[in-house]
Amino acid sequence: MEKVKISARQLFVLIILFEHGSALVIPLGVRAKQDVWLAILLGMVGGILLFLVYYRLYRYYPDIPLTSYVQHIIGPWFGKALAFVYTVYFLFLASRVLRDFGELLLTFAYPETPLFSLNAIMILTVMYGVYKGIEVLARTGELFLTFLYVLAIGGFILVISAGLVHLYNLEPVLADGWKPVWKVVFTETLYVPFGEMIVFAMIFPYLNNPEKAKQATIIGMGLSGINLAITMAINVAVLGPELVSRSTFPLLDTIRNIQVANFLERLDVFFMIALIIGGFFKISLFFYAGVVGASELFGVQNHHRLIYSLGFIVLLLSVAIADNYSEHIKEGLRIVTVYLHLPLQVIIPICLLVIAAIRHRYFNQQS
């Protein structure tokens, strides 16, 4: 672990950027049609409840990351195995997000550029950022968050002033009842992006003021959820529920519709900036968690040494993970959610919390 500290404000910034990461640009929860905003908000509530589980675990072990305290909770053998699983999980998610990102870039701007080279540039930047450490990443985040917000507000004003928002597209609310919404919540929005907060279990030990972690995280998640819900609602309002559910990048389609004063049009670069900045921070945090987890697990004193090799692995994995984009998306929805997200984000942390709580109660009674 590095000997650096980040403030609660910086944690907040990292959470916002992480949550917006790819969720802002991918068709998040679009199977809920015009109720997608509702699905996101419910996912957010579920995510905050999950975070409280991670937070309790963090308060039991405030100085060590997830991969270390699992060894305290369930013993060195199972603990090491589970820590290994989590490390691989983080690296796998890093390469998944990297693939997402590369595919997005490939389809909308660089159809003739090989995926490998687009991903390579990204992972090199990520490696540089992770090499500089979490503190530098957090500071970079502070700068870019402001920029991103200015961009988002500018885009919002443009969408409205271009007269694109048709609120009737959002009606009727709950046309098919609650069932499809809940289905989307429990298969998509709960895990991505809110359940992915598990990665912050690796970041919390760097906080200089643990008391403020809860507040910063909940506000950060809440704000992200509201922002994402507004964005998706605008997408639906502009494009209509049918188009949104068929679109690969609803936000891009929305931005492409902007046409103001015969001059402000084709603002794809807005989308690209949002995509790259968000993608960068999401990949960086996953990769950072993976690198720190691996260095803890294998007793590597200086985690910088692992960056090159693991970065290369993530790059190769991101290309090898699926043959094409549809396969990648299908994996994401059918396999990763059920076999990875559900156990690793929900079931195991809850079990860990129960065991840790029993252990602590037992320990306290003894002493």
Give the number of residues in contact with another protein, rule: CB under 8 A: 34
Q: Tokens in use for 201?
A: 């279990």
Q: Is the dihedral of CA 341, 347, 350, 351 positive or negative?
A: negative
Contact call for residue 45 and another protein (CB under 8 A): no
* Closest approach of another protein to the CB of residue 315, in Å: 15
Distances (CA, A) of 365 to 49, 58, 270, 361: 28, 21, 58, 6
**Least separation, in Å, of the C-beta of 224 and another protein?**
19
Q: What is the DSSP string of 175-193?
A: TT-SHHHHHHIIIIIIIII
Tell me: does residue 48 bind another protein (CB under 8 A): no
Residue with tokens 């605008």: 234
The nearest distance, CB 136 to another protein, in angstroms, is 4
**How far apart, in whole angstroms, are the C-alpha atoms of residue 165 and residue 91?**
39
Q: What's the rounded Cα separation, in Å, for the pair 348 and 225?
A: 24
Q: Which of 10, 169 has the CB closer to another protein?
A: 10
Residue 12 touches another protein, criterion: CB under 8 A: no
Nearer to another protein, 167 or 261 (CB): 261
> Is residue 153 within the footprint of another protein (CB under 8 A)?
no
With residues binned 3-state (H G I as helix, E B as strand, rest as coil), the percentages for the chain, rounded to 5, are 80, 0, 20
Binding mask 107-146 for another protein (x = CB under 8 A): --xx--x----x--xx--x--xx--xx--xxxxxxxxx--
Q: Which stretch in 196-204, 276-284, 293-301, 342-350 sits in contact with another protein by CB under 8 A?
A: 276-284
CB proximity list for 208: less than 8 A, separation 6 or greater: 5, 6, 7
269 binds another protein (CB under 8 A): yes
DSSP conformational letter for 171: P
Buried b (16+ CB within 10 A) or exposed e, 326-340: eebbeebeeebbeeb
Instruction: State yes or no: residue 263 binds another protein (CB under 8 A).
Output: yes
Q: Is 8 in the site for another protein (CB under 8 A)?
A: no
Residues within window 223-252 making contact with another protein, judged by CB under 8 A: none
Q: Contact residues for another protein (CB under 8 A)?
A: 7, 9-10, 105, 109-110, 113, 118, 121-122, 125, 128-129, 132-133, 136-144, 263, 265-266, 268-269, 272-273, 276-277, 280
